[in-house]
Amino acid sequence: MHMHTEDLDSPIARIKGMHVLVVDDNIQAADSLAMLLSKVGAPAGALYSGEEVLSHDLSSNQILLVDVSMPHIDGHRVVQTLRERGVTVPIIALTGHSMPEDVQAAMDAGYSAHLTKPIGLKELTEAIVALTQT
């Protein structure tokens, strides 16, 4: 009988155990993404504002997923501030905006990558793997 084994090289297998923080002012979106990641073995937490991220201890997180369009402190300001504080972990922009100038603005702000919503698990895990392989 052939046992189905998970492909150890698959992106999902490679993000197992990776601590992810999802930041989105859409609570449902943040929670469902965090739940999805946790289900595939990447323990994920969720925060819902720029203020929360900036006052949060990020030391246990290996990757951040930060929504660009948030009230008060938007994703770009969050990322710029984190980078100024010396945070070096990969930060992926989550956004509904996919124009080249949006991507460029995200990169200029200090994001490591840019994903357009709605985000599929496959593209998300591939982006995480691409940013975290040593």
Could you read off the pLDDT of 70-129 as tens digits, one per residue? 999 999 999 999 999 999 999 999 999 889 999 999 999 999 999 998 888 899 999 999
CB-based contacts of 51: which residues, under 8 Å, 6+ apart? Answer: 72, 73
User: Contact 32/38 with Cβ under 8 angstroms?
Assistant: no
Query: What CATH number has the domain bearing residue 30?
Result: 3.40.50.2300
Q: Which residues face 66 on adjacent strands? A: 23, 93
Residue 44 to residue 38: CA distance in whole angstroms: 5
Which domain covers residue 65, as residue numbers?
A: 11-70+96-132
Residue type at 105 in one-letter notation: A
For the chain, how many structural domains are there in total? 1
pTM reported for the whole predicted model: 0.91
SS3 label, residue 118: coil
What is the number of other CB atoms lying within 10 angstroms of the CB of residue 133?
A: 7
**Which candidate, 37, 66, 36, 33, places its Cα nearest to that of 51?**
66
**Which candidate, 53, 131, 47, places its Cα nearest to that of 85?**
53
With respect to residue 85, please indicate whether it lies within any of the assigned structural domains: no
**How do residues 18-70 score in pLDDT, each as one tens digit?**
999 999 999 999 999 999 999 999 999 999 999 999 999 999 999 999 999 99
With respect to residue 78, please indicate whether it lies within any of the assigned structural domains: no
With respect to residue 45, please indicate whether it lies within any of the assigned structural domains: yes
With respect to residue 75, please indicate whether it lies within any of the assigned structural domains: no
